[in-house]
Amino acid sequence: MPKEYINPDSLFPSLPYGFSQIVVATGKKMVFISGQTAWDERESIVGGDSVLEQARQAFRNLEKAMEAAGGKLNDVVALRIYVVDYQAECGTAVGTALREVFPGNPPASTWIGVSALAVPEFLIEIEATAVLD
């Protein structure tokens, strides 16, 4: 699927944080993935009280969801990332996980601090939009 990543000089440099300011995509099929968390397939929390480890598991789940939809992680064009009780160290963890998963051109993303998620042990939830050919 053709994608154009736009990070204009008129906006702050977002790549060091792990996301692109703008992604323009064209394709035949849009995929909307519900928020992925640190649950494994047995509903066990992976990562304990580490935002970084929970983010890594959420991205592993996102990858599985993309594969089930017939795509790959590089088809993701936008992310919404919800973090419980967001603090600066949470941003460092989220940015690290994003750069690990999207080392080249990262998707556009929005990070949202929330007071809680569906399960008290969840520290992060990541939903995605993708475009496939």
Hey, which residues does 6 pair with through a beta bridge? Answer: 22
How far apart (Å, rounded) are the C-alpha atoms in residues 66 and 133?
A: 13
C-alpha closest to that of 78 among 98, 53, 92, 60? 98
How far apart (Å, rounded) are the C-alpha atoms in residues 25 and 119?
A: 34
Domains, the chain, ranges and CATH?
Answer: 3-132 (3.30.1330.40)
Distant-in-sequence, close-in-space partners of 111: CB < 8 Å, separation ≥ 6: 81, 83, 86, 91, 94
Among the residues of 13-130, which ranges form H helices?
51-68, 88-101
Q: What is the pLDDT of residues 66-107, one digit of tens each?
A: 999 999 999 999 999 999 999 989 999 999 999 999 998 999
Q: What is the pLDDT of residues 12-26, one digit of tens each?
A: 999 998 899 999 998
What pTM did the predictor assign? Answer: 0.90
**pLDDT over threshold 90, residue 40:** yes
DSSP state of 106: P
Beta strands in the chain, from DSSP E residues, in sequence order: 3-6, 22-25, 29-36, 76-84, 108-114, 124-132
